[in-house]
Structure 1
Amino acid sequence: MVPSSNEATASRPWARALAFLVALALALPLGWWLPLPALAAVDVAKQVLIGADYHGQDLRGGTFNLTNLRDADLSGSDLQGASLFGAKLQDADLSNTNLRETTLDSAVFNGTDLTNAVLEDAFAFNTKFSDVIIDGADFTNVPLRGDALKALCAVARGTNPVTGRQTRDTLGCS
């Protein structure tokens, strides 16, 4: 006599547990155990974010176009590939920030702290720099207007701790 499937399952408790797990797995939506998609990049274009605290955050690819970030703390943040076109960054803290490949065109850096920031391959041709702190900043491959370059070379000093490059050398100061 051949045992029925119920008798076979009853004689093997692990088989019952396995059958339950298979049934449970088939009942759940397929995406339940798949990794969640990456969160979309932050988009705060044209916002007034005076004194905002973004320090140490992953802001890669974010959009801050025409945003007022006066007195904002972006220190230690990763802004690689972000767009800060026309952003107002007066007295903002961007020290130790990754600004690689960012769009900084037409942004206003007045009293901004860029200590040890990495701006490699950023676009900043029409950016206004005045009274900035750039000790240890890396400006490798950043296009700058002549007047901005002259102002930055006047205060450039230090070596970037991430890239090992001297600020004056990355600006091409003589």
Structure 2
Amino acid sequence: MLLTRITAFIWTSIFAIALWFPLPALASNYPPPLSYSNAELTGKDFSRQILVGAEFANSNLQFTNFGDADLRGTVFSGSVMTKVNLHGADLSYGMIDQANLTGVDLSDAILVETILLGSIFKDTNITGADFTNAILDGAQVKELCAKAIGINSKTNIVTSDSLGCQ
């Protein structure tokens, strides 16, 4: 009988403490990343949106507008991104590997520590883009250095310096 009363007291005490000192909501305040992987998004407008950690892997993004969007940590792996507007977008810490960036506007974009291996940069505007510590292969660096001009308006980094051009 005494043991039953002690057990009941302990559980009542634990319940009362939990009411006075609730645990923080761990992940409930943070929505999961948006997933647009394998999607057909030709011509969509995502300008000025906050899309941190979103997934656009293997998507068709031709003519899509991401101007001035917050795309930090976003994944564009294997996507078709021809004629996409990324002017002023923050693409830091993202993955844009194996993507077709033909005719893309990357002017004034931030690509700090972004993985860009295997991506195509034909007719890409990189005026004022910041590639600081971006992961590129030697051929990509050579191609981008040939057209690297300008200073990023947000980071004040010279494009050619961020690419390590000689």
Displacement of 1:89: 0.8
1:1-174 maps to which residues of 2 (within 5 A)?
37-174=29-166
Distance (whole Å) between structure 2 residues aligned to residue 84 and residue 101 of structure 1: 12
TM-aligned CA deviation for residue 154 of structure 1: 1.1
Following superposition, the deviation at residue 38 of structure 1 comes to 3.1
Corresponding letter in the other structure for 1:116: D
1:147 Cα shift?
1.8
Q: Deviations over 1:63-116 (max 9, x none)?
A: 000011000000010110111111111000000000000011111110000010
TM-score under structure 2 normalisation? 0.81
Q: Please give the alpha-carbon distance, in whole angstroms, between the structure 1 residues aligned to 2:111 and 2:70.
A: 11
Counterpart CA distance in 2 for 1:143 and 1:82 is 15
AA aligned opposite 2:38 = K
* Per-residue deviation, 1:163: 0.8
Q: What does the per-residue CA deviation read over 1:120-153, in whole Å, with 9 as the maximum and x for residues that have no partner?
A: 0001121111100001000000121222111111
Partners of 1:117 and 1:146 lie apart in 2 by 21
Runs (5+) with no aligned partner, structure 1: 1-35
DSSP-derived class of the 1:151 partner:
helix
* RMSD value, Cα: 1.3
- The gaps in structure 2 that reach 5 residues or longer are 1-27
CA distance in 2, matches of 1:148, 1:128: 8
Work out the percentage of aligned pairs sharing the same amino acid.
33
Amino acid at match of 2:129: A
Partner amino acid, structure 1, of 2:44: A
Deviation per residue, 1:6-35 (Å, 9 max, x gap): xxxxxxxxxxxxxxxxxxxxxxxxxxxxxx
CA distance, structure 2, for counterparts of residue 41 and residue 53 of structure 1: 18
Amino acid at match of 1:61: G
Amino acid at match of 2:133: N
Q: Secondary structure at the match of 2:101?
A: strand
Please report how far the alpha carbon of residue 40 of structure 1 lies from its aligned counterpart in structure 2 after TM superposition. Answer: 2.5
Q: TM-score, normalised by structure 1?
A: 0.77
